[in-house]
């Protein structure tokens, strides 16, 4: 049995002991001994693989109301400390140590590609043209409070300082003392948010990720890429290359979130400019202290004259402009008028003087100075720009249709809603080709339409560098895209913004190639998009709609056909992957996912959402961010230059056969079984999730309604909390069972060996099955479903199906246990279980009490608080939530 790495085990032990000391001090020794007894019982119950968890249940059943909260908090806190130890371990560097989670280096991948026959010049060009964009989203899956995350980050820093072998005893003691303080501070900090963050709060959190991590990590990563590229091809990365870009939905995603208004979006644009000016100001002040040289080339002398310190003179000018820019942005944020004379607004206003200094240093033979901090600032300036982050706008298609329809109606041109698609297109293209304004001067639109138009005005006032994509959810026709372009033009937009259809449901995915072919057939649009198109693939809603297996296959086929359609039209396609953190929302190891995409679909460009807790796990620390940037970049380069093979016709037939069965089975339960929604509401904490103030967005697109109205995140979150993990395997169980009965297993094993897409799917299914737990799921049902025979029968059937799915997957992979080939992950789960198990049993009991209290019209604060802590703790234990 694989054990945790000794250093990781030691860190987990040390943090656990420090937490124990804090508990002993308050609430006291008695509480600490109770927690230890519960932990021992959980371990003992886990060792009896067929046990019922009875000893643990009995212990927890005796807890008084006063004991509930400290016990739940203790287990939650330990799981967060274990997470930070694992996170730090993935980036630790120590002599003779190689992290279990270390990613393959850029140099190793370049060498492997070269040995595989890739021409160095081709590699160089592909890296120079690379476009990878991370889109930070405010999807509400980050359970930990920002104040605690900051404490955990400093704890990671303490662990890094302890890793030095030359520490004096007093230095080591000082670090341990600081760790002790931080763990104690965390223990005495309320881990639950009591007020929902606003959309602006979420945006500020996104900016903080850049300030605290990516600001340092990105130039370091680009140095590494420059070095490896030079080593492999003899040519370094161009100065203005931007292979990595950062975008955001925070403050721009208004689809289903009434809290995101044009006022919010304007404020977020301004906050980005304020933060950028502040960060660049720190850089420029540091550079001014460093660049005291007197030698300069003629171009720089032409600007500064006979100055004895030419670089400092240029940087002093930039410093004044940055201060003015920061003051201007602050005044605008506060609603005050502000003079925009002399501020930095266009990127070239900032990069130009820096490049002038850089070239002068090179011309004077001062390469080592030019390629120091100045180069890092230049890389940041090109990558982040003066807006700091590229803001996406997302809105639902009918909101734009309604705006155009209201406008058309006011002008007496007809009923736009009743027009055919051809009539709409003809009208829109005629208007787009014309020069007259369409929006009437004295027109008073409805409130909803006024908000759409006001958003377009805010967008039109930005520079191109400030904007990501305009994403249209539920887009299905060319007029959906043309509506947005017309509205932006009417708002004063003078350059083409990327307008991106989002295909989410199974029907959307299947119809997406025809939709895009119709759009590319519009001559005017092909000129507008300048030969480049982005299409967003929705993973979350397609999985909720059709089940994970069918969704994965539909996404694969849609990407294949979209790539083919774009190729025929001479369009370079970028696929924007709307993945979540969990397998049920398209999550899983990023490099495997990228390398399993259809051949040709990753063509040097890749866009992906990063959400909630996954932002912290991937980019929360500078070295962690560097590692993530490396992992994505190597995968995108490899998928571009050495894509996987095409699937064999027989494999496609088998996938069609499997997914036909998985879809029918999934929908027969989720959509057609009348007992399913009552079962879901009763045995999961779905209805209590609203008590967690996770994000600014409502949990449902529409108030009331069934599963179809529920967003994909709470749908996944609820099943994860009670360990049935249903969205990730339901349907796959029947498909695998029938594959065994039909003797298709030899072909499935061949597909696993030779087709990265299918191997990745099976591996992800295995990972989620390993997180499921039949005993815990059964306990939730027994505690919460009452004695309703219909619900109990459905639960029994679902658990038997889950057990069958596990058995068939083990048989398919010819393994005796899940995760045989992922021993580190398997051991991590085993270590966590004794801490997660008590939270599960407590949560079921607390849900029961909470519902009873609500039935009486009562609110018990201690029960509600403890319930919220169990949700946060289980989320930490599972490492992802939605």
Supply the residues annotated as catalytic: 139, 544
- b/e per residue, 379-417, with b = 16+ CB within 10 A? bbbbbbbbbbbbbbbbbbbebbbbbbbbbbeeeeeeebe
- Neighbour tally for 365: CB within 10 Å: 10
- All residues at 6 or more sequence positions from 533 whose CB lies less than 8 Å from its CB, including other chains: 516, 520, 566, 571, 572, 573, 574
The tokens describing 380, both together, are 């940041």
What 3-state DSSP class applies to 27? coil
Render 49-112 in DSSP notation, one character per residue: TT---HHHHHHHHT--HHHHHHHHHHHHHHHHHHHHHHHHHTT--BTTB--TTPPPPHHHHHHH
Rounded Cα–Cα distance for residues 344 and 151 (Å): 35
The owner of tokens 């909470």 is 850
Q: Quick one: which of 463, 481, 462, 464 has its CA closest to 473?
A: 481
Continuous segment of H or E residues that includes residue 848: helix 823-855
Cβ(142)–Cβ(616) under 8 Å? Answer: yes
Q: Which residues contact 702 (CB under 8 A, 6 or more apart)?
A: 709
Q: Which residues contact 741 (CB under 8 A, 6 or more apart)?
A: none
Residue 246's nearest CA partner among 281, 211, 277, 274 is 211
Pairing label, strands 390-396, 498-503 = unpaired
Question: 541 near 575, Cβ under 8 Å?
Answer: no
Read out DSSP for 361-392?
HHHTT-HHHIIIIIHHHHHHHHHH-TTSSEEE
Contact 286, 373 (CB under 8 A): yes
Q: Phi and psi dihedrals of 607, rounded to 5? A: -130, 140
Using CA atoms, how far apart are residues 101 and 87, in angstroms rounded to an integer? 9
Kindly tell me the sign of the dihedral angle through the C-alpha atoms of 811, 814, 817, 819. negative
**Distance (Å, whole) CA 670 – CA 664:** 10
Residues with Cβ within 8 Å of residue 176, at least 6 apart in sequence: 162
User: What stretch of H or E contains 131?
Assistant: strand 131-137
| Cβ–Cβ < 8 Å for 245, 131 | yes
> Please, what is the end-to-end C-alpha distance for the chain in angstroms?
30
Q: Is 663 left (phi over 0), alpha (psi -120 to 50) or beta?
A: alpha
CA distance 754 to 771: 27
Judge whether 278 and 326 are in contact, CB under 8 Å.
yes
How far apart are alpha carbons 821 and 144 in whole angstroms? 31
The backbone torsions φ and ψ at residue 779, rounded to the nearest 5 degrees and listed phi first, read -65, -40
How far apart CA 546 and CA 550 sit, in angstroms, is 6
Work out the angle at residue 499's Cα, subtended by the Cα atoms of residues 401 and 572, and round it to the nearest 5 degrees.
140
Q: How far apart are CA 624 and CA 720, in angstroms?
A: 26
Q: Which two tokens stand for residue 601?
A: 């679909």
């Amino acid at each position: 049995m694989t054990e945790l790495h000794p250093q990781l085990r030691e860190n987990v032990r040390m943090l656990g002991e420090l937490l124990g000391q804090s508990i002993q001090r308050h609430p006291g020794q008695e509480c600490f001994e109770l927690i230890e007894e519960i932990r021992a019982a959980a371990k003992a119950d886990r060792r009896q693989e067929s046990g019922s968890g009875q000893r643990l249940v009995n212990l927890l059943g005796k807890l008084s109301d006063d004991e509930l909260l400290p016990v739940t908090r203790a287990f939650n806190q330990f799981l967060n400390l274990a997470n930070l130890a694992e996170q730090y371990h993935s980036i630790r560097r120590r002599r003779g140590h190689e992290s279990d989670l270390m990613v393959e280096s850029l140099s190793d991948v370049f060498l492997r590609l070269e040995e595989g026959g890739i021409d160095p010049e081709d590699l160089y060009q592909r890296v120079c043209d690379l476009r990878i964009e991370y889109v930070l989203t405010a999807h509400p899956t980050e359970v930990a409070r920002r104040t605690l995350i900051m404490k955990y980050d400093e704890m990671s820093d303490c662990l890094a300082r302890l890793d030095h072998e030359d520490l004096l005893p007093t230095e080591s003691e000082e670090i341990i003392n600081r760790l002790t303080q931080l763990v104690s501070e965390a223990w005495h900090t309320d881990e639950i948010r009591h007020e929902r963050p606003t959309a602006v709060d979420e945006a500020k959190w996104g900016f903080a990720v850049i300030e605290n991590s990516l600001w340092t990590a990105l130039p370091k990563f680009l140095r590494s890429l420059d070095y490896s590229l030079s080593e492999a091809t003899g040519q370094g990365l161009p100065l203005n290359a931007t292979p990595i870009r950062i975008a955001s939905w925070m403050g721009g995603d208004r689809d289903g979130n009434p809290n995101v208004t044009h006022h919010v979006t304007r404020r977020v644009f301004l906050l980005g400019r304020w933060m950028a000016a502040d960060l660049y100001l720190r850089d420029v002040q540091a550079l001014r202290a460093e660049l005291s040289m007197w030698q300069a080339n003629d171009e720089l002398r032409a600007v500064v004259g006979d100055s004895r310190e030419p670089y400092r003179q240029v940087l002093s000018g930039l410093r004044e402009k940055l201060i003015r820019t920061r003051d201007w942005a602050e005044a605008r944020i506060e609603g005050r008028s502000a003079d925009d004379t002399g501020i930095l607004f266009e990127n070239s206003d900032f990069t130009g003087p820096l490049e002038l200094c850089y070239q002068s240093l090179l011309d004077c033979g001062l390469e080592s100075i030019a390629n120091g901090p100045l180069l890092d600032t230049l890389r940041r300036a090109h990558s982040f720009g003066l807006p700091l982050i590229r803001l996406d706008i997302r809105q639902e298609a009918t909101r734009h249709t309604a705006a155009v329809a209201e406008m058309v109606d006011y002008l007496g041109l007809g009923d736009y809603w009743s027009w055919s698609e051809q009539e709409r297109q003809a009208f829109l293209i005629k208007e787009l080709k014309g020069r007259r304004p369409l929006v009437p001067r004295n027109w008073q639109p409805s409130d909803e339409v006024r908000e759409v138009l006001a958003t377009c005005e805010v967008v039109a006032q930005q520079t191109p560098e400030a904007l990501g994509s305009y994403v249209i959810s539920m887009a299905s026709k060319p007029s959906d895209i043309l509506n947005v372009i017309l509205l932006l033009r009417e708002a004063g937009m003078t350059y083409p913004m990327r307008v991106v259809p989002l295909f989410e449901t199974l029907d959307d995915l299947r119809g997406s190639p025809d939709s895009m072919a119709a759009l590319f057939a519009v001559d005017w649009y092909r000129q507008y998009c300048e030969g480049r198109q982005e299409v967003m693939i929705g993973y979350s809603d397609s999985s909720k709609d059709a089940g994970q297996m069918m969704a994965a296959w539909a996404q694969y086929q849609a990407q294949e056909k979209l790539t083919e359609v774009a190729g025929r039209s001479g369009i370079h396609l970028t696929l924007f992957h709307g993945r979540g953190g969990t397998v049920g929302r398209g999550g899983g190891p990023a490099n495997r996912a990228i390398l399993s995409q259809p051949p040709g679909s990753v063509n040097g460009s890749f866009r992906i959402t990063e959400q909630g807790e996954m932002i912290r796990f991937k980019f929360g620390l500078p070295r962690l961010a560097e590692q993530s940037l490396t992992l994505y970049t190597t995968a995108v380069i490899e998928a571009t230059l050495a894509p996987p093979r095409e699937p064999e016709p027989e494999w496609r037939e088998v996938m069609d056969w499997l997914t036909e069965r998985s879809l029918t089975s999934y929908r027969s339960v989720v959509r057609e079984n009348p007992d399913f929604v009552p079962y879901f509401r009763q045995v999961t904490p779905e209805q209590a999730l609203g008590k967690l103030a996770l994000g600014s967005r409502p949990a449902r697109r529409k108030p009331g309604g069934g599963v179809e109205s529920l967003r994909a995140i709470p749908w996944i979150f609820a099943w994860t909390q009670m360990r049935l993990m249903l969205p990730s395997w339901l349907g796959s169980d029947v498909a695998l069972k029938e594959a065994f009965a039909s003797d298709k297993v030899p072909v499935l094993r061949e597909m696993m060996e030779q087709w990265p897409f299918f191997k990745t799917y099976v591996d992800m299914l295995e990972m989620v099955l390993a997180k499921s737990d039949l005993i815990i799921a059964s306990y939730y049902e027994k505690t919460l479903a009452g004695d309703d025979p219909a619900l109990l029968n459905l639960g029994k059937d679902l658990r038997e199906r889950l057990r069958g799915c596990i058995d068939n997957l083990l048989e398919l992979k010819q393994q005796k246990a899940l995760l045989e080939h992922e021993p580190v992950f398997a051991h991590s789960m085993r270590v966590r279980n004794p801490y997660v198990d008590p939270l599960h049993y407590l949560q079921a009991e607390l849900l029961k009490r909470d519902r009873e209290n609500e039935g009486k019209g009562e609110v018990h604060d201690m029960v509600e608080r403890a319930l919220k802590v169990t949700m946060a703790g289980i989320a930490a234990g599972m490492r992802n939530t939605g």
